[in-house]
Chain A
């Protein structure tokens, strides 16, 4: 076995998980676009509660995605779980530290941050750092 290829090759469990994740990912993208269009169209006409409910619809796909991840984690064998823990730790710690650092810079008005985009980018940032953590885990233990 080529050790480098082994480092990036999915386990059967991972493959299943990524295939299952395609549906919530696609629905999330479509729903987000639809929500933006609907909110822009009906902002003045609909009651506040209805707008809030529509705006939060994409969150449901994230819940769906988390449910798939928990199912996947339960099916992981012990080595796969170790690699997942690497991913989760690096994801949370790296992004948490980065957000704290940017928060300090913004507090002292050394940078100007768009809070909305910063909040929206948290999950994608964690996802990227999670993948980085998994690569580190596989490199050390794979």
Chain B
């Protein structure tokens, strides 16, 4: 699934490690999400949306 996590993170001026700390996950998890190799669970996706104060559908795009 495509997502805008990297763009949002960079807009905040955060490193992957900083975002990982906010989400209480490992930096590798953030990297896997950003590269689209791992789709986060619904709770983690909501956590991301809340953190970036953005609707969840603007963060994740499930169109092929």
Chain A positions within 8 Å of B, measured between CB atoms, are: 1, 3, 6, 9, 11-13, 77-80, 82, 140-142
Contact = CB atoms under 8 A, between A and B. Distances in A.
Interface string B1-39: 000000000000000100000001111110111010110
Contacts of B24: 77
A38 B64 CA distance: 66
Interface residues of B, number: 16
B31 A141 contact: no
A140 B37 contact: yes
Contacts of A3: 35
B16 A79 contact: no
B7 to A, nearest CB: 17
23 contacts: A6-B28, A6-B31, A9-B28, A11-B26, A11-B28, A13-B26, A77-B24, A78-B25, A78-B29, A78-B41, A78-B44, A79-B25, A79-B26, A79-B38, A80-B26, A80-B28, A80-B29, A140-B37, A141-B38, A142-B28, A142-B31, A142-B32, A142-B37
The 10 closest A-B CB pairs, nearest first, are A79-B29, A11-B26, A77-B25, A141-B38, A141-B37, A79-B32, A78-B41, A77-B29, A79-B38, A11-B28
Contacts, number: 40
Contacts of A6: 28, 31
